[in-house]
Amino acid sequence: MFKKVNKNENRLQRHKRVRKKIHGSSETPRVNVFRSNSNIYAQIIDDVNACTLIAASSLEAEVKGAVKNTGNKEAAKLVGKLLAKKALDKGIKEVVFDRGGYIYHGRVKELAEGAREGGLEF
């Protein structure tokens, strides 16, 4: 018998492996990405104090009003730019990127590129 493949379990395994190496601090917080079928979410997290500093998602009015579909690359890029804008307003310029076990391709890549265009340094 074959074991049934569960994509989310595999992603969580990759995420655990990546999180052993990536750690956000007060000086360089961690950008975490979560992707669902219809939306994309990003948070800037300070792991030392265990708190979320900034959050942005495709559910926010700025992004939702600008795009027709919130689950595509265009929306992901806008979320990245919005996250960068909020971070720069709080004085955060340099971050560590945590792709959350997802492959650095498609919406995750667009979010990262949007954040870079917005002024964040990875």
Output the furthest CA–CA distance in the chain (Å, rounded).
55
CATH code of 21-118, in short, is 3.30.420.100
DSSP element (H, E) containing 67? none
Domain ranges of the chain: 21-118
CA distance 107 to 78: 11
Helix and strand tally (H, E) in the chain? 4, 4
How much is the pTM?
0.91
How confident is the model over 46-101, as pLDDT tens digits? 999 999 999 999 999 999 999 999 999 999 999 999 999 999 999 999 999 999 99
Q: Please count the other Cβ atoms lying within 10 Å of the Cβ belonging to residue 52.
A: 11
